[in-house]
A and B are shown apart, each in its own frame.
Chain A
Amino acid sequence: MATEIKLTRKDFMSDQTVRWCPGCGDYAILATVQKTLPRLGIPKEKFVFVSGIGCSSRFPYYMDTYGIHSIHGRAPTLATGIKLSNPDLSVWVITGDGDALSIGGNHILHAGRRNVDLNILLFNNRIYGLTKGQLSPTSPVGTKTKSSPYGSIERPLYPVEVALASGATFVARTIDVLQKEMGEIMYQAALHKGLAFIEIMQNCVIFNNGAWFDYSDRKKRADNDLFLEAGKPMVFGKNRDKGLVLDEEQGGFKVVEIGEEYSIEDITIHDPTSLENAFLLSQLDYPMPLGIIYQVTKPTYCEGMWGQIQQVKAQKGEGDLHDLYFNADTWEVTAEEEEIKAEVRGQVDASLDEAYIDELLGVEAPEADLAEQLASMTLHDLKPKAPITIRPDALMDHALHLMREHGIGALLVVSPDRHLMGIITEADILDRVAGKDIDLHQVTVQEFMTTEPVALPLYASVLEAVHFMTQRRFRHLPVVDENLHPVGVISSRDLAEFLIKHL
């Protein structure tokens, strides 16, 4: 960082009066966050706090940062949108047990799975406070509330276990009364790249007072809380005389006394990179593991997304709107003749890349190239000869005379209004006249012509003409305008000359 950023707790306090119940655990959490953020060296304007609904979700209003108080359970979704759009921001989600694990359960799972680089603080008071005391998804079996007067019959979720199962890469637990430890965990969470999830055991003085008493009370907590430290044996107790040992038979941790049977060397070392151990720790309530339970480094969602953006740019270049619009078969309609020609530019699919690779490798695709070239040229380019026309009621004698005179092999037969009616060719005459006793002065063109011939418009591609000549064995093709008036004739010889000249 070029210039050192000096911020204090005060910089993060908004002008709004904090309105939680007196004695609420939320106050301590708010103060801890406000004290921790200045340590991070991140400019104030880069913090965003997003919350859902519930008591804890008022939190953003009390932070002088960017913030959204959103809707019930959905804070992780907004946070994901924010972080994806601007990965430079430090995005924090403030949520509660009902918000995160009941109505918003799905989003917690997927934020973890994607490893979105967010910091999620789950205030767990095991009760619905804002709606005045109903059981929550973390309430223990038997909890009596207004909505469960005979005791809860639902088994609770354990937030740490859910976070581990979802794939979060930083999972920790802390408690509202231990501000120093809580601050350190938040600091580590903020430094962590990837989804950081912190369960904060928080006391609701009104509806569930003392829910965490075993772990928060000054007298009890030393015996019941296990402070995890990476690489250190998992020892706890006022006299640090108890520890956790992996019990292979039971498949879990067991609590042992350090003394005669077990020495400190026997106590299992905390390895936050072990998912197995983390799951086992998540099952415990005696002792209650506090601190960083699990932490590994994995690619984050934003790295993946923006990495792809950079990668695709490197492959395809910066996106160009013009190219995007034209990335399909296109055709032209021009003003002068309203002539339409095909311009084959390829398909919008993966085959484009294949063709491109072929080109790079010098793989020949001569047919395609030729066809493409022919498809891009029209009969207009071929400059067809002006047609020699004849009326259907003219005598065949006259037709032969015209052919000889002009040295051509075909005449177009047109109606008085210049519509193309047929074609008469040398071949027709050979087929139908030669060898028969026919007086050419007595018969008309009409009787020998081919009616309604295939004719092509000027804008037809040369490829189409080649097709008819080769596949259909036509030697002459009439060319017509849009009113079906003949404007030219193309012979196979014309086509051959054109191909030799141009290709």
Chain B
Amino acid sequence: MTEQKHVPVKELEDVVIRFAGDSGDGMQLTGSQFTNTAAIVGNDISTFPDYPAEIRAPAGTLGGVSGFQVHLAEHDIWTPGDSPHVLVAMNPAALKVSLPDLEPGAIIIVNTDAFTPGNLKKAGYESNPLEDGSLNQFQVIPVPITTLNRNAVQDVEGLDKKSIDRSKNFFALGLIYWMFDRPLEPSIEWVKKKFGKRAPAVAEANIKALQAGYFYGETAEIFQTRFRIKPAKLPPGTYRKISGSEAAAIGLVTAARKANKPLFYGAYPITPASDILHNLAPLRNFDVITFQAEDEIAAMGATVGAAFAGAMAVTGTSGPGIALKSEAMNLAVMLELPLVVIDVQRGGPSTGLPTKVEQSDLLQIMFGRNGESPMPVLAASSPADCFDTVIEAYRLAVRAMAPVAVMMDGYLANSSEPWRIPDPDTIEPIVIEHPTEPNGPDGKFLPYKRDPVTLGRPWAIPGTPGLEHRVGGLEKSPEYGNVSYAPEHHQRMVNERAAKVARLADIIPEQEVFGPEEAELLVVGWGGTYGAIHAAVSQAQAKGQSVAQVHIRYLNPFPRNLGFILQNYDKILVPELNMGQLAMLLRDRYLVDVISLNKVQGRPFKVSEISAKIDELLAGE
């Protein structure tokens, strides 16, 4: 007996795999199954689902291509990876869309059955790329996936041809499991749980397809190499996979518990923010009220009302929604009520690129309201970081009695990474004291009498006897809050609303620097670009380049030491997925010259793009 087939197993530090096919081919499902299994085996993971804007563009067309990219590594990873090492292309369109991202030598597994003249035409190929030599620089592995899958699944009773073909993504998944030496069991278990009871034939077909793909890899001698990624060395703890939307939802529920309040989440469906609503809606037993409003304005209005009534009030949306909410956000600024506004950014302007990533709402959030209307702004830097960021946002909101914005983006919302699960008991409570006694002369309640330290006003909630008061969008007198257009009143109230936001800098942590405190170059970023920037800076440091990184979570107010940090570097590079919005704020605030690296292509930064810019700036010395 020979125990081993002579297919060498190659140890890799990391690998990037992309599954691409029609949006109906189940590529998202395939990708997430692979990710789950990788996580269970213990790899660090990072994913990037890239689905088309049109839910179902015609099958086989470039617009209908749906992709899911997974980056697995034995070490900490920060991005879904630049360039796939392995591409699974279920049809010519998927191949065509992905080819520009591949580097020479990459492995391409193609479903040859889908390379029909019709599909080639739909993808805009004049000749078959599998035959015309245009793929010579890659390792192409042709597999007739549809046919092989039909053969494997044909015995399953009660399935028509269409349903049989629908399981071909599991054949591809099985093949990849073999190639990357992954166990099949987690996916088999998943299929059983998902379909076992409701549709046993579907379950059987998917399991057979999965196994057939695996055994095909084992028996067909077309693979020269197998890969194994060793488990990542993560800090000790219990981990789970988490997306930004999940992390934000769980973080909000946590903050509500820590503040001892019901959570009110008012939202109108909008891509890519809706998943937060979806994740919160089932959690009624946590006293979660999800209000799907009639429009963005109503979502914001109801959120302001909920805050007035004493709930932990939150809304979430994307850029176009922020535009509609602006007036009611401004009302919250004026009423001085604590709430959180989450902006899951997407490509703009207008409807823009709903499913694609961009960071171009920063100036909108900072300044997109009439009048002098400062709002604290925080940005999450990774999917798991959304958990901490929303909790921190609510802490600041109740301290300053102000609406606080949390910036996420479509990439953070949809990407996944391992999350070290914290002990909920160790998370600090959010202490809120609602007044019960009048605070003014003659037993009067003064709704705008500020705390001398925080400048926040008292949060008296309806139902408290003796503290009845009115608030409104009109300018008001200090302390008493009665309508007043007096010149000195307006000036003072504008000053105080600005000062209480600025004073948050007293309690937010000082900005940390990754790398040397003085160097030739500092790379400054914010939000979801953390991973790419961190990887690029780490690589540069490993090469001996004089470079450090600052990633800003607190965009308003900035950390109190930020200006000082910026002075210690010869050059400052600000990579952003916009045309230079943080750069504008930094120049204005600190009078420093910053060099922008801008990208608005609906895709995250590649590490190599940032590395190239670092090299260019340091070569100039």
Contact = CB atoms under 8 A, between A and B. Distances in A.
A368 B242 contact: no
B2 A452 contact: no
Interface residues of B, number: 97
B234 interface: yes
A321 B253 contact: yes
A238 to B, nearest CB: 44
B194 A351 contact: yes
Contacts of A482: 230
A464 B183 contact: yes
Contact of A82 (B6, B253, B306, B470): B306
B306 A317 contact: no
Interface string A461-474: 10110010000111
Interface centre among A44, A331, A428, A450 (most CB of B within 10 A): A331
A9 to B, nearest CB: 15
Interface stretch (A103-111, A205-213, A226-234, A270-278): A103-111
Contacts of B189: 344, 368, 371-372
A80 B291 contact: yes
Nearest to B253: A324
A89 B462 contact: yes
A312 B287 CA distance: 10
Interface in A443-496: 450-454, 457, 459, 461, 463-464, 467, 472-476, 482, 484
B375 to A, nearest CB: 16
B429 interface: no
A77 interface: yes
A372 B186 CA distance: 9
Interface in A345-382: 346-347, 349, 351, 354-355, 358, 365, 368, 371-372, 375
B421 interface: yes
B309 A89 contact: yes
B39 A329 contact: yes
A325 interface: yes
A66 B241 contact: no
A59 B262 CA distance: 30
Contacts of B240: 325-326, 328-331
B6 to A, nearest CB: 7
A150 B288 CA distance: 53
Nearest to A313: B285
B205 interface: no
A69 B328 contact: no
Contacts of B180: none
B327 A71 contact: yes
Nearest to A374: B185
Contact of A328 (B181, B241, B253, B469): B241
A233 B464 CA distance: 46
Nearest to A327: B240
Chain A interface SS verdict (over half)? mixed
B308 interface: yes
Given A81-B291, A450-B3, A453-B4, A329 B241 contact: yes
Nearest to B303: A81
B237 interface: yes
Contacts of B41: 340, 342
B472 interface: yes
Interface residues of A, number: 102
Interface string B63-107: 000000000000000000000000000000000000000000000
Given A78-B305, A80-B302, A319-B287, A70 B472 contact: yes
A85 B306 contact: yes
A346 B193 contact: yes
Given A78-B302, A81-B306, A475-B3, A313 B284 contact: yes
Interface in A63-93: 63-71, 74, 76-86, 88-89
Interface stretch (B20-28, B153-161, B293-301): B293-301
A284 B310 CA distance: 43
Contacts of A68: 304-305, 308, 335, 470-472
A431 interface: yes
A182 B192 CA distance: 64
A316 interface: yes
A459 B185 contact: no
Contacts of B311: 81, 85-86
B239 interface: yes
A110 B185 contact: no
Contacts of A325: 240, 250, 421-422, 424
Contacts of B483: 16, 61
Nearest to B294: A110
B8 A84 contact: no
A61 B9 CA distance: 77
B372 interface: no
Interface in B273-325: 282-289, 291, 293-295, 297-311, 313
Interface of B: 1-4, 6, 8-9, 11, 36, 39-42, 181, 183-186, 188-190, 192-194, 197, 218, 230-231, 233-242, 250, 253-254, 257, 262, 264, 266, 282-289, 291, 293-295, 297-311, 313, 327-328, 331, 335, 421-424, 461-474, 482-483
8 contacts: A48-B462, A63-B470, A69-B473, A85-B311, A319-B285, A330-B239, A333-B235, A349-B194
